[in-house]
């Protein structure tokens, strides 16, 4: 298991959704309006509740509600990334979560009528089932483990010359001979 990496965010009326990419943990942060100040304040409050090593970067779309993303970057000391307009595929995990959430809260739902406990129940329904991709652990269990461990250190990213590589690990190389980044296991301290 790697360390917590990126948190792609997405704002839908009256809530800001965040997804942790390693654990696939999903959350929805209630906000009272789509103003940039309120969105960033809710994000800062949420991310500040996590250990510093649990937030490596935040990716958001280029909507007006994320116009103050630099405040988030400065406050948390993490980079923020903006997805290109009309590029929902760049935030696939966030879009997938929004689709799963819509099975409980269909399009057009007035989120001001959804209570905190109701939203918590919906998030529990989404985060509690074990997932094959997580070795049959739940996203909540994986996130808890990642937050309780220290940050992992990347081993290396090695650039190889183009062309065939007479190497035993050639099946691990990516396009143009660039080897994928490998991560060490987290050590509990």
What is the domain-level CATH number for residue 117?
3.30.420.10
Q: Which residue has the higher pLDDT, 151 or 185?
A: 151
Residue 99 has pLDDT above 70, yes or no: yes
Q: Which residue has the higher pLDDT, 166 or 156?
A: 166
Shared domain for 140 and 50, answered yes or no, is yes
Shared domain for 90 and 165, answered yes or no, is no
Using a 10 angstrom Cβ sphere, with 0-12 exposed, 13-18 middle and 19 or more buried, the burial of residue 145 is middle
Shared domain for 164 and 131, answered yes or no, is no
pLDDT (mean) for 153-172? 40
Q: What does the pLDDT look like over 18-42, one tens digit per residue?
A: 888 888 888 888 787 778 888 888 8
Shared domain for 16 and 51, answered yes or no, is yes
Residue 16 has pLDDT above 50, yes or no: yes
Is 31 domain-assigned? Answer: yes
Q: Which residue has the higher pLDDT, 78 or 171?
A: 78
Judge whether 57 and 5 are in contact, CB under 8 Å.
Answer: yes
Shared domain for 115 and 187, answered yes or no, is no
Is 1 domain-assigned? Answer: no
Shared domain for 104 and 172, answered yes or no, is no
Domain extent for 72? 6-148
Q: How confident is the model at residue 5 (pLDDT cuts 50, 70, 90)?
A: low
Instruction: Kindly state the tokens that stand for 176.
Output: 């143009």
Helix (H, G, I), strand (E, B) or coil at 139: helix
Shared domain for 103 and 11, answered yes or no, is yes
Is 41 domain-assigned? Answer: yes
Nearest to 41 by CA among 71, 61, 63: 71
Strand partners, 172: none
- Please give the tally of structural domains in the chain: 2
């Amino acid at each position: 298991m790697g360390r917590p990496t990126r948190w792609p965010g997405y704002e839908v009326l009256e809530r800001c959704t965040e997804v942790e990419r390693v654990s696939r943990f999903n959350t929805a942060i209630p906000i009272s309006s789509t103003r940039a100040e309120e969105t960033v304040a809710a994000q800062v409050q949420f991310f500040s509740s996590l250990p510093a090593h649990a937030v490596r970067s935040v990716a958001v779309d280029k909507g007006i509600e994320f116009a103050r993303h630099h405040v988030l970057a400065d406050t948390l000391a993490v980079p923020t990334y903006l997805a290109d307009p009309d590029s929902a595929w760049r935030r696939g995990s966030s879009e997938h979560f929004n689709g799963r959430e819509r099975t409980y809260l269909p399009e057009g739902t007035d989120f001001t009528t959804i209570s905190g406990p109701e939203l918590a129940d919906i998030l529990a329904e989404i985060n509690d089932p074990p997932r094959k991709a997580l070795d049959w652990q739940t996203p909540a269990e994986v996130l808890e483990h990642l937050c309780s461990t220290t940050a992992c250190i990347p081993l290396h990213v090695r650039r190889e010359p183009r062309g065939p590589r007479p190497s035993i690990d050639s099946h691990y190389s990516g396009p143009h001979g660039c080897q994928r980044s490998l991560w060490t296991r987290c050590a509990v301290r």
